[in-house]
Amino acid sequence: MAEVDFLPQAEADYLQARAWYLARSPQAAVGFDAAVDVALTAIGKTPERWTLCDDRHRFYVMRRYPYSIIYRTTADRVLVVAIAHTSRSATYWRDRG
């Protein structure tokens, strides 16, 4: 399984989304955390499985939550570039490292 790391901006995306769910319901925040964990585990196991969105980034569409996880891979690592809400511009994250 590939190691999964976050860019600081992607971690901020995650924390912002989690805070939004937590403010509404602790159960929703726990569910969001679990959905992110499921997604990251799946991505780490088979990172090439999901669709390319450009020449080096892929995206995983989360179930039950309106977010996609944008990431890129190297030989042994997955780098999460964004936890992107589906209502945001599809390219807001493109200038991230």
* pLDDT digits 0-9 by tens, 37-69: 999 999 999 999 999 988 999 999 998 999 999
Please name which of 93, 96, 38, 90 lies closest in space to residue 65, comparing C-alpha atoms.
38
> What is this structure's pTM?
0.89
Has residue 77 been placed in a domain? yes
Q: How far is CA 74 from CA 4, 70, 88, 93, in A?
A: 11, 14, 27, 19
Q: What pLDDT was estimated at residue 81?
A: 95
Has residue 33 been placed in a domain? yes
| Domain extent for 55 | 3-85
- CA pseudo-torsion sign 51, 52, 58, 63: negative
Has residue 93 been placed in a domain? no
Q: How many domains does the chain have?
A: 1
Q: What pLDDT was estimated at residue 97?
A: 66
CA gap 87, 97 in Å, rounded: 22
Has residue 92 been placed in a domain? no
Has residue 91 been placed in a domain? no
Q: What pLDDT was estimated at residue 2?
A: 84
CA gap 9, 2 in Å, rounded: 21
CATH number, position 37: 3.30.2310.20
Strands (E), the chain: 3-6, 57-61, 67-73, 77-85
Please provide the average confidence, as pLDDT, over all residues in the chain.
91
- Provide Rg for the chain, Cα atoms: 13
pLDDT band at 20 (very low <50, low <70, confident <90, very high): very high
